[in-house]
Each structure stands twice: as structure tokens, then as C-alpha cells.
């Protein structure tokens, strides 16, 4: 996994990978800006008639958008990057696994969208379910971060692995592959989750994660 990490870092300069990074980051931030603008409009209308209702709406919408960006960046970023995942995976395969690139199948857009929405939904639902556990473990000082990493490493490992596996396996073969690679995908998810919690570095997390997943797949699926 360490080798996969450094190989993935080495491809961040590829033009195709840089293009995906720019497009995905632009779309991700645009989603949050548009959501913030819609929230401001809604709050402003709800407070119509109040003194300084425009300023109050602006402050509330800004705070809510920043909070959403902190809490939901991972979900939205993975959804967006999933739309361009084929480009990242193909770039890694072209450099390191050209024979496998020739047999790969492009993932249809509708399936990429469905996978991205599923990823976002699992992230939100699983963390909402785990929220009471996070709160109960707060007094321990370390329990909450450990629980958070366990839950999200499992989720992220599945999402990143599927980005690559769907190019080479049919739906019927996916469950067996997931079971056979559960430990390695969990390790991948731990690294990815760690990248997502570091400010600024989290911008690169989906790209590095998808590239690492490609190395994981071709190193373990045989």
C-alpha cells in the first residue's frame, strides 16, 4: 500500500489527472456555493420583515455552508470524482498495466452516477447511524476518532475499489472480489480517510485514492 501511495503521487502531474482534479474541484465547490446561495434565499424569504433580515440570512447561510463543506466534502467530492474516475484509472493502467487497459470496459455514465449517489448515501446514512457512538466515545478522547476512521475506512475502501473493479468485473463477480480484498480495501480506506481529514490535502484525496485503488486491484485480483 505504501508503494501504491507513492506511485499515485507520482501521477498527479499527468495532464489527464490534473484535468480531472481541476474539473472535479470546480464542480464540487460550485455545488456548495449554489447550495449556500439557495439557503440564503430561503432564509431571507423566511425572515422577510425582520430588521437586517438580509444580513442575518447571509451570516446564517455562510455558517451553514462552511459547516456543510466540512461535514459533507468527502461525500460530494467522491460523487463528483466518480464521474471522471475512468480517466484516472485509465491513466494509471496506461502507465503501469497496459495489458489490462486493453481489456478494460468503460463504465457508462448512468452507472457512474448511480455509484456516486450510492457512495454519498452510504456515507451520510452510516455516519448518522454511528453518530450516537461517536458522542458516547467523546469522553475517551480517542474513541470517537477511532470509530470514525473505522466506519469511513470501510465505506471509502468499498467505493474506491468499485471504481476500478467495475471496469474489469461483471456485477456477479463483484461480491466475491470484495470479500477477497476486504483487508486491503480497508487499509486503502484508512489512508484515504486520513487524507480527507487534512485541510487542503483533502482536495487531492479522491484522486490519490482512485489511483491507489487501481494498483490495489491489479495487484490482488488475480
- pLDDT tens-digit profile of 36-89? 899 888 888 887 777 777 788 888 888 888 888 888 898 999 999 988 989 999
For residue 220, what pLDDT is reported?
Answer: 58
State the Cα–Cα distance between residues 124 and 172, nearest whole angstrom. 26
Cell representation of residue 176: 466475491
The Cα–Cα gap between 42 and 67 comes to 17
Q: How far apart are alpha carbons 157 and 204 in whole angstroms?
A: 16
| Low-confidence spans in the chain with pLDDT less than 50 | 221-222
CA 58 and chain centroid, separation: 29
Q: How many CB atoms lie under 10 A from the CB of residue 70?
A: 10
With a CB cutoff of 8 Å and minimum separation 6, the contacts of 4 are 211, 212, 215, 216, 219
Q: What confidence score (pLDDT) does residue 167 get?
A: 92
Cα–Cα distance measured from residue 57 to residue 149, given in angstroms and rounded to the nearest whole number: 35
The separation between CA 72 and the C-alpha centre of its own chain, rounded to angstroms, equals 10
| pLDDT of 222 | 43
CA pseudo-torsion sign 40, 46, 48, 52: negative
Q: Give the C-alpha separation, 47 to 124, whole Å.
A: 29
- Cα–Cα dist 163/141, whole Å: 35
pLDDT of residue 43: 85
Between vectors from CA 218 to CA 151 and to CA 171, what angle results, nearest 5°?
65
DSSP 79: H
The span from the CA of 165 to the CA of 169, in Å, is 6
Which class for 45: exposed (0-12), middle (13-18), buried (19 or more C-beta within 10 A)?
exposed
The pLDDT score that the predictor gives to residue 213 is 95
DSSP 200: T
Cβ within 8 Å of residue 42, ≥6 positions away: none
CB–CB of 50/103 below 8 Å? Answer: no
Amino acid at each position: 500500500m505504501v508503494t501504491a501511495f507513492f506511485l499515485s503521487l507520482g501521477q498527479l502531474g499527468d495532464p489527464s489527472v490534473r484535468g480531472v482534479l481541476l474539473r472535479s474541484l470546480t464542480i464540487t465547490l460550485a455545488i456548495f456555493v449554489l447550495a449556500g446561495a439557495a439557503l440564503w434565499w430561503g432564509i431571507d424569504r423566511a425572515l422577510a420583515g425582520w430588521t437586517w433580515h438580509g444580513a442575518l440570512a447571509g451570516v446564517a447561510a455562510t455558517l451553514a455552508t462552511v459547516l456543510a463543506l466540512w461535514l459533507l466534502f468527502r461525500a460530494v467530492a467522491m460523487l463528483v470524482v466518480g464521474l471522471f474516475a475512468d480517466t484516472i484509472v485509465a491513466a494509471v493502467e496506461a502507465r503501469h498495466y497496459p495489458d489490462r487497459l486493453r481489456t478494460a470496459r468503460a463504465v457508462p455514465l448512468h452507472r457512474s452516477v448511480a455509484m456516486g449517489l450510492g457512495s454519498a448515501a452510504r456515507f451520510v446514512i452510516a455516519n448518522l447511524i454511528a453518530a450516537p457512538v461517536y458522542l458516547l466515545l467523546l469522553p475517551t478522547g480517542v474513541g470517537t476518532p477511532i470509530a470514525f476512521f473505522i466506519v469511513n475506512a470501510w465505506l471509502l475502501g468499498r467505493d474506491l475499489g468499485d471504481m476500478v473493479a467495475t471496469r474489469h468485473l461483471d456485477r456477479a463477480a463483484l461480491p466475491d472480489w470484495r470479500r477477497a480484498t476486504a483487508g486491503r480495501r480497508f487499509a486503502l480506506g484508512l489512508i484515504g480517510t486520513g487524507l480527507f481529514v487534512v485541510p487542503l490535502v483533502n482536495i487531492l484525496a479522491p484522486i490519490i485514492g482512485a489511483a491507489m485503488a487501481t494498483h490495489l486491484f491489479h495487484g490482488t485480483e488475480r
